[in-house]
A and B are shown apart, each in its own frame.
Chain A
Amino acid sequence: MPTVTMNVNGRQRSADIDPRTLLVQFLRENLRLTGTHVGCDTSQCGACVVHIDGEAVKACTTLALSCEGSNVLTIEGLANGNELHPMQEAFREHHGLQCGFCTPGMIMTAVDLVRRKGNNLDEKTIREELEGNLCRCTGYHNIVKAIAAGARNMSSMPQSKAAE
């Protein structure tokens, strides 16, 4: 079996894997990082969104072997020790979740959105940008509020941390 090596949440990780292994399987099954979820497994729902080299992608539609040498950030790597990332804190504060299944993908998408579109996001932009993330509890109202607040709070983060 081929070997893949990538940096996940700041740690070099390496494993021998079946070429069919998807990035989300590698994260969940090899590394036991089960914060990244599999919802639809057809790249529609966004529960599996992680960052590869700083950009949001769907980990169910990416081969682990394609990530050779990449930097991967998952929901587990977002907080600074016991201190939640501002986007995580905003989801808690604004109750941006109900069952919580879509939340890791929502938060990873939201952090990527701030990187691309800045800290002042209007509702229309947030809703448009969330088209690849589904919440089956239909809790979008609070998710949108949480993302707007989290984006504002990210402006006070050090630049390097905010970009991660």
Chain B
Amino acid sequence: MYAFTHHLASSVDDAVKTLGANGDAKFLAGGQTLLPTMKQRLAAPPHLIDLGKVKELRGIEVQGDKLVIKAMTRHYDVATSDAVKSFQPGLAELAGLIGDPAVRHRGTIGGSIANNDPAADYPAACLALGATIVTNKRRLEAEKFFTGLFSTALEDNEIVTSVEFPKADKFKYMKFRNPASRYAMVGVAVAKKGGEVRVAVTGAGSDGVFRWTAAEEKLTQNFDKRALEGLSIDPGTLNGDIHGSREYRAHLIGVMAKRAVAAA
């Protein structure tokens, strides 16, 4: 790890002010991705703004027809929250599939989406459910927030403060995990709200999380796994690596999508 200056933020304002004074700073949320990345010297921020003690960034609340999860809420909190389990049980399940128990005690939803790892789980849920990402400056639809591999629409001096999920009639996330890293080789989130169906895929796209619109059209007509029979996805748009070829991932997307629909 290269040397850095550590700032313990006391509030969102304090964090943003510190970022303003140190343009090359990075926020440290749960650190479960950033710290390993820094250890490998793949990231070397000269300033780290630690959000761990910012209480106003923690908590889960149902506000009418939406679920609000604040940015520093940990995967463990989402996985075990009664509010999440009753509002959208599939979202609690998804949080319980991230990493392992000790990682879930540190990792946060805000950190996950701000990093936008192409194999992260939350981005798929955000896209499928049509979540709104709330920052200290504005509100962004998930679709506009995730802009590519490890990149988001976040601007300088902007910090994710919460994620708002509208309620869906059905939601299920199916993940094929890499057995070593537990990241998604392929993860497919399927959400149905009224007549609208959304399918989001993580772990596979060469440009990060994406919506599989061809599957959405089929499932809008008939929400049944058989509607996806014969439907394939072009491997050319997918990511191939030592863990699996593009063709293998294309096949997995179909399998995971069918399983998600069947279990939704």
Contacts and interface: CB of A to CB of B under 8 A. Distances in A.
Interface of A: 2, 18-20, 22, 41-44, 46, 49, 52, 55-58, 61-63, 65-66, 68-69, 109, 112-113, 116, 129, 131-133
Contact of B101 (A22, A62, A65, A112): A112
Contact of B31 (A41, A49, A66, A131): A66
B238 interface: no
B3 interface: yes
Chain A facing B: main interface SS: mixed
A44 B181 CA distance: 7
A44 B39 CA distance: 14
Interface in B117-133: none
Given A66-B28, A66-B31, A58 B6 contact: no
B102 interface: yes
Interface of B: 1, 3-6, 8, 28, 31-32, 35-36, 39, 48, 50, 52-53, 76, 80, 99-103, 105-106, 180-182
Given A43-B32, A46-B102, A62-B106, 8 more contacts: A2-B6, A19-B4, A20-B1, A42-B39, A62-B35, A63-B28, A66-B28, A132-B103
A68 B7 CA distance: 12
B50 A61 contact: no
Given A20-B4, A44-B180, A62 B31 contact: yes
Contacts of A112: 101-102
Contacts of A57: 102, 105-106
A143 to B, nearest CB: 15
B106 A61 contact: yes
A65 B103 contact: no
B50 A63 contact: yes
27 contacts: A2-B6, A20-B3, A43-B103, A46-B100, A46-B102, A52-B105, A55-B76, A55-B105, A58-B103, A61-B32, A61-B103, A61-B106, A62-B106, A63-B6, A63-B28, A63-B31, A63-B50, A65-B6, A66-B31, A68-B53, A69-B53, A109-B101, A112-B102, A116-B80, A116-B101, A129-B101, A131-B100
Q: Which of B1, B32, B102, B182 has the most CB atoms of chain A within a 10 A radius of its CB?
A: B102
Nearest to A48: B102
Nearest to A66: B52
B5 A109 contact: no
Contacts of A49: 102
B3 A19 contact: yes
Contact of B99 (A56, A62, A68, A132): A132
A22 B34 CA distance: 13
A57 B99 CA distance: 12
Given A44-B180, A63-B35, A68-B8, A56 B105 contact: yes
A66 B8 CA distance: 8
Given A61-B32, A66-B52, A131-B100, A19 B106 contact: no
| B1, B28, B76, B103 interface centre (most CB from chain A within 10 Å) | B103
B39 to A, nearest CB: 7
Nearest to A69: B53
